[in-house]
Amino acid sequence: LTKALHDGCDGKLPVTVKCRIGTDLDQPFTKKGYAEIDPDQEYSKLCRFIETVASNGVVTDFSVHARIAVLQKSFSPADNRKIPPLKYELVHRLVNDYPELTFSLNGGIDSLSMAQQQFDDCPNLKGVMIGRGWAADPWSFAMADNLLYRDFSYSPKNRLEVLKQFGEHADAEEMAGDPTKIRRFIVKAVNPLFAGEHNAKRYRIALDEIAGRPKKLQAEGKSLESEPPISELILGAALEHLSEEVLLRSPEESYERTIIEEEERTGGRSLSVSEWQERRKTEEKASAYAQSLEAPH
């Protein structure tokens, strides 16, 4: 498969592989049974897979989720994301044992400090993949360039500045497209910007109203021309519902607060991630329902 991909693009594009540290094919997964698996034997199987995939020289870059993939039908994708134990040490061993290859680590990393810890534990690690943590609370990663890459060329002063810059982009997008079709997608981008802050829910409710306004006006036979631009609406919602302290807090100050909150947490995923996952489920259900209403009968 990897050779076909390589040949299909005439070798002009890199072919990378994202995988897990193994599967439960040899032994059906149970927590107790998995705990009894010999770690060296498990690592040996992982090495054979890496060596096989890399043998023809096409793939040299791997992103490895540090859990096994449980292939039982009773195991949902959500189960696979959180139930099998994380074994970061196996990915670290790959990095050290195969210096000719590059590895990025994935799985269970929700915050910038957790990513930092992985680089501290394994300095030759190429990267750390973060999905839900960033999507749920993007502002908590505002210091990523400074802390991980020592790049100080640009850093937003605060979230008020981010909203003003985003507003310019949002206005341009609406001028180029149909607000009744694209506004909800535009607004969604700044929905989690104030995750965990006081009155963040009120801000999100206001954004939802802004997102639905073009369709509402269309249904009423009214025009958007008399409405303020979307940039003003988004900024107005933030100024109305969020405090000046929150809007003007710097990335450095926010990061310090995040570290304190992580130290106080007893374990598990952050509250921001949990809330984001619940909102996402609600949005998906609402979207599916809206599509069913619009579908021809």
- What are the residue ranges in the chain where pLDDT is below 70? 266-281, 283-284, 287-297
Question: Residue 289: CB partners within 8 Å, gap ≥ 6?
Answer: none
Write out pLDDT tens, residues 211-239. Answer: 999 999 999 999 888 899 999 999 999 99
Write out pLDDT tens, residues 181-201. Answer: 999 999 999 999 999 999 999
Are residues 190 and 254 in contact, defined by beta-carbon separation less than 8 angstroms? Answer: no
Task: Round to whole Å and give the CA distance between 275 and 271.
Answer: 6
pTM above 0.85, yes or no: no
Report all structural domains of the chain as residue ranges with CATH numbers, in order of start: 2-130 (3.20.20.70), 159-294 (no CATH)
Write out pLDDT tens, residues 236-262. Answer: 999 999 999 999 999 999 998 888 888
Number of neighbours of residue 98 by Cβ within 10 angstroms: 16
